[in-house]
Structure 1
Amino acid sequence: MQTHFSEAQLRDPALAEAKGIIETCVHYGFCTNTCPTYVLTRDENESPRGRIDLIREMLENGGTPKPATVAHLDSCLSCLSCMTTCAVKVDYVHLIDRARVHIERHYRRGAADRALRALLAFVLPRPRLFALMMSAGRMVKPLAPLLGKRLAAMLAMIPARTAPDIVAPQVFAADGAKRHRVTLLAGCAQQALNGDINAATVRLLQRHGCEVVIAPGAGCCGSLTLHMGHEDDARRAARANVAAWREAGDLDAVIVNASGCGTTVKDYGHLLGGDDAKRIGALTRDVSEFLLGIGFAPPAPLPPYRVAYHDPCSMQHGQRVIEQPRALLRAAGFEVVDVPERHFCCGSAGTYNLLQPATAAQLGARKAAHIASTDPDIVATANIGCMTQIAHHLGRPVVHIVELLDWASGGPRPPALANVTLREPQPQTTTAPAADAGFW
């Protein structure tokens, strides 16, 4: 694709990078059939290559973007499915982030939109405040029809059951001999929504000989604010984490159990630059990557309950971590079934289901129907946003894979399954590959 940036514009390293990314796009169009918004609308401006054209025009012109351009870029999920299928490997993730930064700096949204975005950017990275806001939201849920479609959709997304557990900075000793020393990103929104995930992760790592450090000063990874165009806020959060983990001393890994956060932390070298940020990015592992690497060994595998595993977009497209969770679940004794159309986003996408509720609801219902078609005993995934979105549309509990792995290796049954009667497992049968297996 040709570009026409001026020499003055290209003195800005961010624009120079954007130019290079745009010029790699050759409009083959493989990306269109895996882009959720294009599949739903068949609008070229709702496809990756259409958005790249819009971004090129917006950045070349500079200044205030057109409202229609902003609408089409806002509707992008950043699911990165286009990057998995792109024949020339266009670096779309960094291009769409640059576009959002430009919009945030040069476009004045309506008052209601500005207020909502400011609220989300302030509240979600602060788990105690987020937990408090959810409690307040439950009380006003009966008034939802009077509050407008967007606020009503937000209130509907608040889970009936949350298990907040804000983990204080501390060191959890390894069970038995210490084999590894790791730090765990405790996270922000996840802690407010479901503290069971961190608790299960810590137990699981301890059982496998890990000393687990929750470092003072570490907090939000910066992902939520970065994808809303608040680049400065994201960099502040990232710098705080890099400094905290540097002070933690020698580490074998930075463990992340929310895949959206893991994708961002692995990319700290790009976001911040510098040796420390690059070192942290290189040390970062999704918990499933790390466990499989050190040898997950449940003492007595569970019965072969049928588990439908949903691939979070940030895991399969962002980090390319696909087989590790499945291998661990099988080692734990479960029968793992793939969800049809597994490359397709569930509609959570960070704050997307709060900012674009209509499209998110379509995608959530589509994903829930595909999961139900597999007739699972248990539904599992590896990202808190997907868990919340899918549970809302499916109408049944969704658990994090670490909760199942913890259960299989001596921990408690996942609390979300406490009142769920699981079927007597049937002998395992060979399942046919999903219809979209060709994408992998």
Structure 2
Amino acid sequence: MTGQHRVSPFPFLSIDATSRQVSLDARDAAFYADPNPVYAALHAASPTFYWQEQKQWFFTGYDAVNGLLRDKRFGRQILHIATREELGLPEPAAHTRHFDKAEEWSLLELEPPEHTRLRTLVNRAFVSRHVEKMSGEIADLANRLIDDFAGTGETELLSSFADIIPVTMIGRMIGIPDDMGPQLLKWSHDYVGMYMFKRSRADEDAADRSAREFADYVRQVIAERRKTPREDLLSHMIHTEHKGQYLTEDELISTTIVLLNAGHEATVHQIGNSVRIILESGLAPEDLFRDAAATERTVEECLRICAPVHIFQRHCLEPCEIDGVTLKRGDRIGLILAAANLDPLKFTDPLTFKPQRNEGANLSFGAGIHFCIGAPLARLELNIVLPLLFKRLPKLRLAAPPSVKDVYHFHGLERLDLTW
């Protein structure tokens, strides 16, 4: 990189603050294992930057990210207003056709009016007053899982606890039996491989295979619910109309898959991340979870400092200028939610875990019309299972250094070995 204005403290990162050009290897273990110091370096040198390896502009400032998430000049879709030919985009790859089909009506990928119609049908099930009715079930499941390993003096927390709770609860909400949990986890892990930076052909093949199997399974459950409706979200989506319209089968499949994936994948990561940050902080769990207010502050600070999803992509829908960057229709930009949570202009001493903070909301669930629909459920699960775990196992400590998954731009642990 020529004309470099700043020398980076990291060998995998170089920043030219004058041109706002950044070279960053997202597959370097030293980066994805602990991205926060890199985000701090970017805030100091160039909060808005062109990431050379990703070939697009990225934004890390809290106000910029918060504003762009709500800016109607940007959207998750672009092909609803322009053709592939106009934008110079290649045709979809044949080997990911099942994945693309499953994503076709994903809430995460749509813009109004389709997004409004689908979200309206689903949203009612996820509002806080409905979700809170699941509190007892969440606590019962967490206690039962802890019962299984409490007497052993050690556990690998992801496989014995964190993996199981979110997938079980979102499955029950939608109407998927508990015993499908392990299979849902496998499909989901393969599926989200499509969102990794520098994914391989093997990742794409696995995602497409799992998308096909996932869709086939959901199609079978839909057929059952058409014949015999139950008190679950899938029956609600099948049999409820919105302005005279019902969801098509393709819309039902896409919506169910995205809810199952988004409803547990990030929460699994967040449970692991949160337990790790609490144990490494040296702060007393009995203080962090002494009452409901303290618990909520602790959970929100965990979400701020170790968010499970780091990047949200947007398309520019019309020519505009953002923070001195000229963008044309069709350009993609990246919003680094996890970095916005570390903006020193918003949060004092941002790399330090401070549960007593009262400096504003984190952006880990996004903002605007694509604010995470499952946020009330995720927050409820975290507010129940974290204090329960530390109360049941008061001598909890790390048995080994946690290993981080190579799945950037997600951030979660491969293993979390604990002892007490």
TM-score (ref. length: structure 2): 0.30
Greater relative contact order structure (CA < 8 Å, 6+ sep) = 2
